[in-house]
Amino acid sequence: MKKLQENPSSALYPNPVMLVSSSHKRKESIITLAWGGTCSSSPPTVGIAIRKNRFSYDLIANSKEFVVNIPTTEMLEEVELCGTKSGLDIDKWKECKFTKKKSTVVKTPFIQECPVSMECKLKQIVELGTHDLFLGEVVALHLNEEWKQEKYPNMLTYTRGVYCKSEKI
């Protein structure tokens, strides 16, 4: 099998697709992210990588919290909207017709329609380069019971510009 020698890249195969909700004072947004993942089991910690120019960047840096919501393949339209429009210009909650659910620990609401939502408290921002890494401790976890019983169907992943559907084997 021929191996291609490509330029070094941090893209994994695949990356998880996340809808990260954030808020600070009266401002709020939902950003689509594919750069990030699991970091530590105890304390439960996730990492998300955000460019400095995103509206969500300052919301999270100032409020010191965020919520990672995991969308399904049925939510591709909303994922695209939250990944191409800025919360500075539009109300993404309204545009996506998402239901705001009150979080239990943080102030930012989570997305009712997503099967998983992880409330996170910001522990650290690691300045890296194009993106900075936000490390968040998961302080509350909301999971759809049915979705868990069905063993996590319809998960959306992203591999170098291509959306994929993950399947259990």
CB environment 56-75: b (16+ within 10 A), e (fewer): bbbbbbebebbbbbbbbbeb
d(CA 27, CA 154): 31
Please select the residue that binds ligand FMN; options are 16, 21, 28, 35, rule is CB under 6 A: 35
Using the contact rule CB under 6 A, the part of the chain among 76-84, 95-103, 105-113, 136-144 near ligand FMN is 76-84
| 111 near ligand FMN (CB under 6 A) | no
50 near ligand FMN, judged by CB under 6 A: yes
Contact flag: residue 109 with ligand FMN (CB under 6 A): no
* 14: contact with ligand FMN by CB under 6 A: no
Site size for ligand FMN, by CB under 6 A? 22
| Whether the Cβ atoms of residue 107 and residue 63 lie closer than 8 Å to each other | yes
Q: Buried b / exposed e across 86-112, counting CB within 10 Å, b at 16+?
A: ebeeeebbeebebeebebeebebbbbe
Count Cα neighbours of 68 within 13 Å in the Cβ-side half-sphere: 27
- Candidates 14, 44, 83, 153: give the one binding ligand FMN (CB under 6 A): 83
Q: Which is nearer to ligand FMN, 49 or 111 (CB)?
A: 49
**Chain positions contacting ligand FMN, by CB under 6 A:** 17, 29, 31-35, 49-51, 54-56, 80, 83-88, 131, 158
